[in-house]
C-alpha cells in the first residue's frame, strides 16, 4: 500500500509511523496511508522563513503572478489523473471540476490581478503620498511588504485541490512561503497535484512544503510573522486559535468555519413563476453538489409561510429525480460523502435536528453501481422548522451533507431576521423579481453575511450561482 510522502525542507520524506489508512469513499477499499510521524516541524518552519522567504522576496509581483500562471498551465495539462483520484473521494465529474479546475482558476485569476493592479516591484506603495506638514516638506505614505514568516494552511476534506490552491494563490503572490496541511481524507489527491507542482521546477526552493497526515506539534513552533489559515469546524478552530503559541506570539489566525447559509424565496415568487422554478433548482443543486459538503451550501430554506407546502412538494420531487451512486457512472448526479467517519458525523447532526424539527423528506434512493454498506452514501434529507424564531437548532447545528431545513416567514422584516440567525454566514441568496423586496431584505441582512446573491429571471442566464 502506498504511503504518501511529505515534502519538507526541500525533500520528500516518508513518516516513520503506522500512519492513517485512507479509503475509497465509494467502495471502501484502501487507497493509501498518510503519516507524519518523525517529521521535524521546527526545521520545516525555519526552512520556509529563511530559504523560502528569501527566494520569494527576490521576485516582483509580476514575477510571482507569472509563476502562478505557469504552474496552473502545467497542472491543467495533467488534469486527467487528478479526476481519476477525485472520483475516489466520492466526487462526481462536476464536483471534481469545481475542485480541480476551479483550483487552477484561482492561480489564473491572481496572476491576472498581479498584472492589472500591482506594481512590478517586490513591495507595494499603497495609495497617494500624504502631506503632513503645512509646506509639504514632511510627507507620509503606506508600504506593504511580505510578512517575514510562513503561512500554515490547515485545510478541510471537501476540496483537496481548490482548498490548497486558493490559499497558495494569495500567499505566493504576496511573497509568503507556505506549508500545506490537507485533511488526511482525500490527501492522496492533494499529494498528486503537489508532486506535479514541485516536478514542474517553476516554484522557487522553499516556497511550498506539504504535510500529509496529522499536524503533530507543528503549531508549537509558530512565531511572530507566521500565519495560520484554518478551514474546518468552529470547535476545532477556536481551540487552535487559543493555543499559547498562537495567542501569545501575535500569530495571525484566519478561520473559515461553520456557515449556516440561507436562501430566501421572495413573496412574489409563487408556483408558475420563473423565480419559483429557479429557487427549487438552486436549492436542489446546493443540497446535492459535493453531496452537500460545501461551506456555501444552503442549510436554511426561508420561504413565505403560504408557500411552504408548495416548496416542500416541488423540492422533494426534484430530489427524487437525483441519481445517487458511483461517480464513474454517467447517470450519477450525486456521489458519496468523503468517508464513513464523516457519514457518522452527519448522522449525529441529523439526530440533533430531529430533536426539534420534523424530517419531511428522507429519500430512499437506489444507488447506481454502488452499495450503501461499502460506500459513504447518504440520501438527501429535508427538515421543516415550523417555528424558526422559537426552535433555534436550525440556526445552530450544521449537518455537513445533503441536509437542509425549510422555515416560514411573513414579510421582508422576518426573512432578514431569520437570515441573521445564522450569526455570520459566508453567503445568503434571495430569489425574487421584486426589486423592493430584494432591496429591503438585502440591506437588513447584510451585516451578518459575507456575500448576498440575488437571482431572478433577468440574471439567471449569466449567473455563476
Return the pLDDT at 228.
97
- Statement to judge: residues 273 and 150 lie in one domain: no
List the Cα angle 450/456/459 in 5-degree steps: 80
pLDDT category of residue 183 using cuts at 50, 70 and 90: very high
Return the pLDDT at 364.
84
Return the pLDDT at 188.
97
* 31, part of any domain: yes
List the Cα angle 15/68/65 in 5-degree steps: 135
The active-site residue out of 101, 166, 214, 256 is 256
pLDDT category of residue 289 using cuts at 50, 70 and 90: very high
- Statement to judge: residues 162 and 265 lie in one domain: no
Mean pLDDT of the 379-390 span = 98
Mean pLDDT of the 31-55 span = 97
Cβ atoms of 76 and 101 closer than 8 Å: yes
* Euclidean distance between CA atoms 45 and 249, whole angstroms: 15
- Statement to judge: residues 238 and 269 lie in one domain: no
Q: Which of 415, 352, 364, 354 is nearest to 389 (CA)?
A: 415
* 79, part of any domain: yes
Return the pLDDT at 446.
97
Q: How many domains does the chain have?
A: 2
* Euclidean distance between CA atoms 417 and 282, whole angstroms: 22
Return the pLDDT at 159.
96
**Does the pLDDT value for residue 101 go beyond 80?**
yes
The active-site residue out of 101, 214, 295, 398 is 295
Instruction: Decide which of 207, 240, 256 is a domain's last residue.
Output: 256
- Statement to judge: residues 82 and 226 lie in one domain: yes
- Statement to judge: residues 371 and 289 lie in one domain: yes
Mean pLDDT of the 351-364 span = 96
Cell numbers given for 335: 456521489
- Statement to judge: residues 241 and 265 lie in one domain: no
* 460, part of any domain: no
- Statement to judge: residues 225 and 293 lie in one domain: no
Mean pLDDT of the 267-281 span = 98
Helix (H, G, I), strand (E, B) or coil at 125: strand
Mean pLDDT of the 43-50 span = 98
Cell 426534484 sits at which residue? 318
Cβ atoms of 375 and 320 closer than 8 Å: no
**What residues does 382 pair with on adjacent strands?**
361, 404
Instruction: Decide which of 256, 282, 306 is a domain's last residue.
Output: 256
Range of the domain at 180: 6-256
Instruction: Decide which of 205, 230, 256 is a domain's last residue.
Output: 256
List CB contacts of 420: < 8 A, sequence separation 6 or more.
445, 447, 448
**Does the pLDDT value for residue 175 go beyond 90?**
yes
**Does the pLDDT value for residue 337 go beyond 90?**
yes
Return the pLDDT at 136.
87
The overall pTM is greater than 0.75:
yes
* 54, part of any domain: yes
Return the pLDDT at 258.
79
* 234, part of any domain: yes
**Which CATH number is 120's domain given?**
3.40.605.10
- Statement to judge: residues 11 and 116 lie in one domain: yes
- Statement to judge: residues 121 and 160 lie in one domain: yes
Return the pLDDT at 247.
92
Mean pLDDT of the 385-413 span = 98
pLDDT category of residue 257 using cuts at 50, 70 and 90: confident
Return the pLDDT at 277.
98
- Statement to judge: residues 243 and 279 lie in one domain: no
Q: Whole-number mean pLDDT of the chain?
A: 96
* 461, part of any domain: no
* 359, part of any domain: yes
Other beta carbons less than 10 A from residue 324's beta carbon:
26
Mean pLDDT of the 80-102 span = 97
* Euclidean distance between CA atoms 337 and 290, whole angstroms: 8
**Does the pLDDT value for residue 250 go beyond 90?**
no
Specify whether 256 is catalytic. Answer: yes
Specify whether 262 is catalytic. Answer: no
Q: Could you read off the pLDDT of 403-413 as tens digits, one per residue?
A: 999 999 999 99
Mean pLDDT of the 214-222 span = 94
**Which CATH number is 415's domain given?**
3.40.309.10
Return the pLDDT at 139.
94
Q: Could you read off the pLDDT of 424-440 as tens digits, one per residue?
A: 899 999 999 999 999 99
Mean pLDDT of the 58-87 span = 98
| DSSP secondary structure of 37-74 | TT--HHHHHHHIIIIIHHHHHTS-HHHHHHHHHHHHHH
* 13, part of any domain: yes
- Statement to judge: residues 38 and 57 lie in one domain: yes
Mean pLDDT of the 371-393 span = 97
pLDDT category of residue 209 using cuts at 50, 70 and 90: very high
**Does the pLDDT value for residue 148 go beyond 80?**
yes
Mean pLDDT of the 175-181 span = 98
Return the pLDDT at 392.
97
**Does the pLDDT value for residue 465 go beyond 80?**
no
What percent of the chain clears pLDDT 70, i.e. is strictly above it?
100
- Statement to judge: residues 160 and 278 lie in one domain: no
Return the pLDDT at 35.
95
Amino acid at each position: 500500500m502506498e504511503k504518501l510522502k511529505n515534502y519538507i525542507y526541500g525533500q520528500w520524506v516518508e513518516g516513520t509511523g503506522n500512519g492513517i489508512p485512507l479509503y475509497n469513499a465509494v467502495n471502501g477499499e484502501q487507497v493509501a496511508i498518510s503519516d507524519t510521524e518523525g517529521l521535524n516541524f521546527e526545521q520545516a518552519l525555519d526552512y520556509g522563513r529563511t530559504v523560502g522567504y528569501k527566494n520569494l522576496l527576490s521576485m516582483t509581483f509580476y514575477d510571482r503572478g507569472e509563476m502562478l500562471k505557469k504552474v496552473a498551465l502545467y497542472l491543467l495539462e495533467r488534469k486527467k489523473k487528478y479526476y481519476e483520484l477525485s472520483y475516489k473521494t466520492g466526487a462526481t465529474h462536476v464536483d471534481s471540476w469545481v475542485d480541480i479546475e476551479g483550483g487552477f482558476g484561482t492561480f489564473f485569476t491572481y496572476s491576472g490581478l498581479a498584472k492589472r493592479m500591482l506594481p512590478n516591484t517586490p513591495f507595494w506603495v499603497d495609495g497617494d503620498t500624504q502631506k503632513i506638514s503645512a509646506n509639504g516638506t514632511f510627507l507620509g505614505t503606506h508600504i506593504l511588504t511580505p510578512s517575514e514568516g510562513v503561512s500554515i494552511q490547515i485545510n478541510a476534506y471537501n476540496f483537496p485541490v481548490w482548498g490548497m490552491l486558493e490559499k497558495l494563490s494569495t500567499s505566493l503572490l504576496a511573497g509568503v512561503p507556505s506549508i500545506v496541511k490537507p485533511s488526511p481524507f482525500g490527501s492522496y489527491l492533494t499529494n498528486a497535484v503537489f508532486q506535479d507542482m514541485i516536478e514542474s521546477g517553476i516554484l522557487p526552493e522553499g516556497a511550498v512544503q506539504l504535510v500529509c497526515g496529522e499536524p503533530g506539534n507543528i503549531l508549537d513552533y509558530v512565531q511572530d510573522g507566521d500565519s495560520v489559515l484554518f478551514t474546518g469546524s468552529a470547535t476545532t478552530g477556536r481551540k487552535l486559535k487559543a493555543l499559547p503559541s498562537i495567542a501569545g506570539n501575535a500569530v495571525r489566525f484566519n478561520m473559515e468555519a461553520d456557515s449556516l447559509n440561507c436562501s430566501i424565496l421572495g413573496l412574489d415568487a409563487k408556483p408558475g413563476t420563473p423565480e419559483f422554478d429557479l429557487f427549487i433548482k438552486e436549492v436542489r443543486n446546493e443540497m446535492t453538489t459535493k453531496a452537500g459538503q460545501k461551506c456555501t451550501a444552503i442549510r436554511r430554506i426561508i420561504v413565505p409561510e403560504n408557500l411552504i407546502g408548495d416548496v416542500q412538494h416541488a423540492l422533494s420531487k426534484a430530489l427524487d429525480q437525483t441519481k445517487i451512486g458511483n461517480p464513474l457512472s454517467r447517470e450519477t448526479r450525486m456521489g458519496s460523502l468523503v468517508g464513513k467517519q464523516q457519514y457518522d458525523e452527519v448522522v449525529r447532526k441529523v439526530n440533533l435536528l430531529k430533536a426539534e424539527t420534523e424530517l419531511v423528506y428522507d429519500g430512499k434512493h437506489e444507488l447506481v453501481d454502488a452499495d450503501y454498506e461499502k460506500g459513504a452514501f447518504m440520501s438527501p434529507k429535508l427538515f421543516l422548522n415550523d417555528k424558526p424564531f422559537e426552535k433555534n437548532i436550525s440556526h445552530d447545528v450544521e449537518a455537513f451533507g445533503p441536509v437542509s431545513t425549510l422555515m416560514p416567514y411573513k414579510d421582508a422584516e422576518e426573512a432578514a431576521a431569520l437570515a441573521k440567525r445564522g450569526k455570520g454566514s459566508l453567503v445568503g441568496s434571495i430569489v425574487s423579481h421584486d426589486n423592493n423586496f430584494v432591496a429591503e431584505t438585502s440591506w437588513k441582512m447584510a451585516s451578518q453575511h459575507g456575500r448576498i446573491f440575488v437571482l431572478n429571471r433577468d440574471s439567471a442566464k449569466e449567473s455563476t450561482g
